[in-house]
Structure 1
Amino acid sequence: MSKNIEDAPIIIRGRWRQLSLLGGAMLVDSTEASLASALFPVIRQALGLSLGALGVLTAAGKIVGAFSGPLWVWAARRWSRRAVLAVSIGLWGVWGIAAGFSQNFAQLLIFFTILAAGYAAAHPIVTEIIGDLFDQASRGRAVGLLYGVLALVASVLGPIKGQLANVDDGWRWGLWGIGAFNMLLGAAIWLWFRDPGRGATEPRLAGLDARTREGELTWSRALSLLRIPSFLILLGSRLLSGHLLLGVFAVVFLVDVYGYTTAVASVVLLPYGVGYFLGNFAGGFMADWAVRRSPRHGLVAVLQGAQFGFAAAAFIGTQFDLGSIALFSVFFALMGGMQGVNPGINRPMVMAITPPELRGSAFTVYINIFEAIAWAVFSLGAGFLGDVIGLQVVFLWVLVILMLANGAFLSLLYRTYTPDAERVQQELQARREQAVQDA
């Protein structure tokens, strides 16, 4: 293995500017989902819904994303990642506007589901592109910064969205605003985004033509993802990621369990988002530090510790009446911080154990399918069980006990992650040697 090839980083010009455009695509996805959860108490009253309706609304969007996400990734492979993002984020905003005119739950569910079908393109395609914009040494910081800034913006918008509860049909205005913003963002992506191409930052593929760098994607190659031990463990961890529930039910939890108004309860979204931002930001640097301290086990230890830390903060922050929204905000900030560490660790881990041509497929499976399954199960279960046994008991099992189990489950990565990452580098080196030989 050539040392100079391995060590020479490839810097994509304008990569941070491109990342900011991609961040906008991710923002509209999270904003649409959080608007529904933040204003659900008002939507519930306006349309005469039960608590279970929030679970149905959230789960439907995630389930349809499990089907539409792979189709968008296939379209991006067949045509252009830029075009797919411009359509799925930009033109799709019309469905957000339509959702604002809903007169009953059936109409709201239909439009929200169609909207989610388009937004499902953002996460796998954007995350794949990040792997092509940033080299392995800077991916953790890039992912952490992206998710952190998104969380910070969402946290600022959270209380603002909550105040829409004090405006007649405020939730409708929120949906109309999101739809219009989507369309503007789609135009910006089409005009200014420049795709670096798959494998652009892999040193072992430097200097090779785009076709060689991108490799061949076949069904057998895509299915080979399921033969990567570390990837299977990370998929299993997604199904145990109970913290996904918090962003959906945080406001309604404080309203139903501790009696706060929607406007007051939505205040916790700001410290939660700030905590998430700091966790994302710190997670990227912690990843680099952990690799230096322990190349074989550092990343796994940080990821595992984040699960245990979240469970501890969730136990105190949800199972006891802390007496004021200020104290609740402290523990929601801690939960956000622990949750925020995850993307800066697990996304680069997926990139490290998969070759460039499989990363889009990997993130489709990881985010659109397995995370969607987790979202659907947690949202539906919490919605219906919350009506029966109460959200506090649901939070104990999902945010505390399940997260402890998740942390323990991740111990399996200590044996598999390093060999899987090394196997990818060996494959890329072999591809380079074959291309040189053919030339």
Structure 2
Amino acid sequence: MRTRAALLALALGGFGIGATEFVAMGVLPQIAQDLLPNVWAASSEQAIAQSGALISAYALGVVVGAPTIAASVARFPRKRLLVIFTAAFTIGTILSAIAPSFELAVVARFVAALPHGAYFGIAALVAAQLMGPGKRGQGVALVLSGLTVANVIGVPLITALGQQSGWRVAYLAVTAIFAAATIAIAFVVPEQQGDAGATIRRELSALRRGQVWFALGIGSIGFGGFFAVYTYVAPLVTEVAGLAESVVPWTLVAVGVGMTLGNFAGGVMADRGSLRAVLQLFPIFILAMTGLALTASTAVTLLAFLFLVGALASAISPAIQTRLMDVAGESQTLAAALNHSALNIGNSLGAALGAAVISAGLGFIAPSWVGVGLAVAGLALALVSWAVDRRTTAAPALA
């Protein structure tokens, strides 16, 4: 029971992170109208595209914070670190909610994101130890389950709250989740010592390994396809499919259910071979995004393909994280955190490229085609990684 409660507390932290990261997608039009009123008056499309910078700023914060924080704190007790991280999230999200201007909101989102990768990295190591041998991928998936469940329950509900009461109220609700996670972790997660032999130099030594960079590239580029789609899901629903704004939260539920189911399936697949899982999942991911781009104007197919895109993207995530841990040697803390740097480079890349094609006048379906291209590039990198492994080992490596 203590182990189960600890895993739930870790997942609650992930739930808060999922809410703070993804709620912006659902209330992006409200943020654009409030913080960029002059741009909105001239062109709502341009204002929404410009507001994508908030999502890119959060992603950049993860990219910067994950390796620097994780490498610096690997030797410290893990429970204490998790409490500090969730407390920092609480403060950062409050700053996001009260930011008086667009520029300060961008800065606040960057600051709020700094502990993201380190939290998931440390939490994944704690969960893997609690789960026991042979279940590392499932431990990673359990921690990530908070993030995916947030997309089923938290993000849609908080999006609806933001649409009714304002986007600032939505972020205050996220603040309350982080405060609850801080208390839960402090009370129910058992003490775990850090890696006493860890040093910044040893952790960073993982970056000398070619397969680490391949894994990071797969996550950064391939997973960017998901964010090219998900960042602009609100206008995809209202402008392309012609549905009411009230449908947006239900669309987010469909994506979130897909992400939750895909996450657990991906954890099981990762335990059977992380690179194998990546190679199996990416082709289906590409097909799902192609289907979305071709049929997004119809409500039923829009929801169906968004469900599939969410499921497949989420299944890929624990596979990439497990792959990083497989190839990083002793640098396990850094490897577990770097996955989130990679995924948030993808977040920033997908959001930025999506904004570029929208600003170019190509419409709100164009980001889905950007997503297809990024996923194809991710699959190509995975194939190169497998080929390099095959040449440097006695047998083909699909671990």
TM-score normalised per structure 2: 0.85
- Matched residues in 2 for 1:193 and 1:168: separation? 35
SS in 1 for 2:232: helix
- Does residue 344 (structure 1) correspond to residue 318 (structure 2)? The answer is yes
The residue type paired with residue 43 of structure 1 is I
Q: Which moved more, 1:51-60 or 1:30-39?
A: 51-60
- Does residue 227 (structure 1) correspond to residue 215 (structure 2)? The answer is no
The alpha carbon displacement at 1:88 in A equals 2.2
Alignment of 1:293-372 (within 5 A): 298-324=273-299, 326-355=300-329, 357-368=330-341, 370-372=342-344
Matching residue of 1:182: 178
Number of equivalenced pairs? 382
The alpha carbon displacement at 1:421 in A equals 11
The alpha carbon displacement at 1:332 in A equals 1.1
Structure 2 gaps, min length 5: 41-46, 395-399
- Does residue 387 (structure 1) correspond to residue 359 (structure 2)? The answer is yes
Deviations 1:101-120 (CA, angstroms, capped at 9, x unpaired): 33331232232222222444
Matching residue of 2:269: 286
SS in 2 for 1:137: coil
The alpha carbon displacement at 1:93 in A equals 1.1
The alpha carbon displacement at 1:184 in A equals 2.6
Matching residue of 2:24: 36
Structure 1 gaps, min length 5: 1-12, 199-210, 292-297, 423-439
The alpha carbon displacement at 1:36 in A equals 1.1
Q: Which moved more, 1:265-274 or 1:221-230?
A: 221-230
- Matched residues in 2 for 1:85 and 1:129: separation? 10
The residue type paired with residue 337 of structure 1 is A
In 2 relative to 1, CA 149–88 (structure 1 residues): closer, same or farther, beyond 3 Å?
A: closer
- Matched residues in 1 for 2:255 and 2:340: separation? 22
Over aligned residues, Cα RMSD in angstroms? 2.8
SS in 2 for 1:51: helix
- Does residue 275 (structure 1) correspond to residue 248 (structure 2)? The answer is no
- Matched residues in 1 for 2:392 and 2:11: separation? 29
The alpha carbon displacement at 1:235 in A equals 1.3
Q: Which structure has the larger Rg?
A: 1
- Matched residues in 1 for 2:175 and 2:162: separation? 19
- Matched residues in 2 for 1:281 and 1:112: separation? 29
SS in 1 for 2:207: helix
In 2 relative to 1, CA 121–155 (structure 1 residues): closer, same or farther, beyond 3 Å?
A: same
In 2 relative to 1, CA 108–149 (structure 1 residues): closer, same or farther, beyond 3 Å?
A: closer
- Does residue 410 (structure 1) correspond to residue 379 (structure 2)? The answer is no
Q: Which moved more, 1:410-419 or 1:65-74?
A: 410-419
- Matched residues in 2 for 1:55 and 1:338: separation? 23
In 2 relative to 1, CA 272–167 (structure 1 residues): closer, same or farther, beyond 3 Å?
A: same
In 2 relative to 1, CA 154–366 (structure 1 residues): closer, same or farther, beyond 3 Å?
A: closer
- Matched residues in 1 for 2:25 and 2:140: separation? 25
- Matched residues in 1 for 2:373 and 2:6: separation? 40
Alignment of 1:256-271 (within 5 A): 256-271=239-254
The alpha carbon displacement at 1:312 in A equals 0.6
Deviations 1:24-78 (CA, angstroms, capped at 9, x unpaired): 2222111012111111112222232512333211111222333333343245335
Check the 8 A contact 2:236/2:296 in 1, yes or no: no
Select which of 227, 230, 249 maps to 1:247. 230
